[in-house]
Amino acid sequence: MKHRVKLLVVALGLVVLLLVPQSLLFAATTLKFFHTLWIPSMVELMDEAAARYEEENPGIKIEQTRVSWTDAPSQLMTSIMGGEPPDITMAGWSMVGQFRGMGAFADITDLIPEEMKKSFLPTAVEGVTYEEGRFDGVPQEGCIWAQFYRKDLFAEAGLDPSGAPDTWEELVEYGEALTKDTDGDGNIDQWAFGWPVQAENAGQFWLTFLHQAGSQVIVLEDGKWKSLLDQKEALEGTQFMVDLVQRYKVSPASIVDMNWEDVTNGFAAGKFAIMHNGAWVVGSVKQKAPDLEGKWSTDIIFGGPGGRVTQGGPNNFHVLRASKNIEQAWDFLEFLYEEGRTADLTYVEELANLVGSIQWNYDYMDFVRSTYEPLLQPFLEHKYAKLPPFTPHWQTFVSLFGDAAVQDMIMGKRTVKATLEDLHAKLNQLHSQ
């Protein structure tokens, strides 16, 4: 959380203004900045930072393009293929493998100060290095997913309300007590566990179950990517996910139609006693159900045979290789990482602080462990976070085949074994092209 110091020498500035030809003085350089900030307070902060940078760097214009996370991959691809790429882009971790694989990101290793590189958490370094020691980005704000649970519903079921399940076995055990027909009409109206399985969320959470089972999913061997979806760990993780609905019946098949907000609404309404969701949902639950204050809490994620694992990691800033202003683009990013509007936080740290998330450096983690409220503390356990495979075609595979297959398995339309055999073949086929 160090701020760089810029000495503004007025006399020297006047001399420069007199000596530089007017045609050069007013030939502005535009930095195109593509990002997915959508929360009003974060947008306001970035607008303020860009305006300050422009003021301190006459002749530089920051042109922002804001898009949704859903549209970001396709719009970024369109801009690159159309020959008008941004200079800087924000990329979620699901995007990194795809755009890194096509060589879209510039190597900025030599531009990043060594002290900054050493400040990043290990998961963050993994996400911004394309080979050992080589950086093609810097970590930005990012989230870790954890458990939310209804203490009141736990107590009603005779369960200890001081914590959520620690293991798969406990999740099933708790699930049997928490899944109820509360009004006696023969239909279950309180389910133990909910997680988002709609659209892009399906494959995202499937990956968590795979990792919890100890699956590596895909590996690089002799320069080629090889699927591990045919191995027992992948089968075990996928089967447990499906069994929550089909065998144990502690989750409804209707979760295939639910996004993160739908599950949050269900949690607030008492439809789900436990949910797996992200840190920003803490604020959402408070807003949706103020009457539940003190009746719910959060906890670190449960674990499977491969241990406690949850999805999580930073979104990144990357400079595009096609940019004609790579050094200037980095200077703006460095400004965001070293300057701020207060003495306590830099701009990127405040972006995280505004939404109860993480800026992935050691100093910031020390700061939030002492300042974030108890409900947010489980979302700081970055040691449990695991990024998706950074292969060129993983996200394409998930979008084309994985999401739909997960939904079909959960609804009982396809068997786990046959589906994994099919997905294994498709994943290998994509990476052989």
CA separation for the pair 104, 322 (Å, rounded): 7
Counts for the chain of helices (H) and strands (E), in that order: 19, 16
3-class SS of residue 299: strand
Domains of the chain, CATH where assigned: 28-143+312-385 (3.40.190.10), 144-310+390-432 (3.40.190.10)
Calculate mean pLDDT across residues 373-380: 96
Whether the CB-CB separation of 313 and 127 falls below 8 Å is answered with yes
pLDDT computed for residue 38 by the predictor: 87
Calculate mean pLDDT across residues 143-168: 97
**Token output for 379:** 């979302």
Please name every residue paired with 306 in a beta bridge, in sequence order, or none if there are none: none
pLDDT computed for residue 229 by the predictor: 98
DSSP labels for 179-192?
A: -B-TTSSSS--BEE
Whether the CB-CB separation of 356 and 283 falls below 8 Å is answered with yes
Confidence of residue 311 (pLDDT cuts 50, 70, 90): very high
Closest Cα partner for 229 from 433, 399, 423, 431? 423
CA separation for the pair 11, 8 (Å, rounded): 9
Calculate mean pLDDT across residues 148-153: 98
3-class SS of residue 318: strand
- pLDDT, tens digit (0-9, with 9 covering 90-100), for 285-299: 999 999 999 999 999
How many C-beta atoms lie closer than 10 Å to residue 299's C-beta? 18
Closest Cα partner for 163 from 284, 280, 174, 265? 174
Cα distances from 288 to residues 36, 39, 127, 276, 285, in angstroms, run 24, 17, 34, 17, 5
Confidence of residue 392 (pLDDT cuts 50, 70, 90): confident
Phi, psi of 57 (to 5 degrees): -130, 75
**Token output for 281:** 């949902």
Average pLDDT value for the chain: 92
**Token output for 143:** 């989230």
% of the chain beyond a pLDDT of 70: 94
Q: Is the pLDDT of residue 265 over 50?
A: yes
- pLDDT, tens digit (0-9, with 9 covering 90-100), for 213-241: 999 999 999 889 999 999 999 999 999 99
- pLDDT, tens digit (0-9, with 9 covering 90-100), for 180-217: 999 999 999 999 999 999 977 899 999 999 999 999 99
| DSSP state at residue 30 | E
pLDDT computed for residue 27 by the predictor: 59
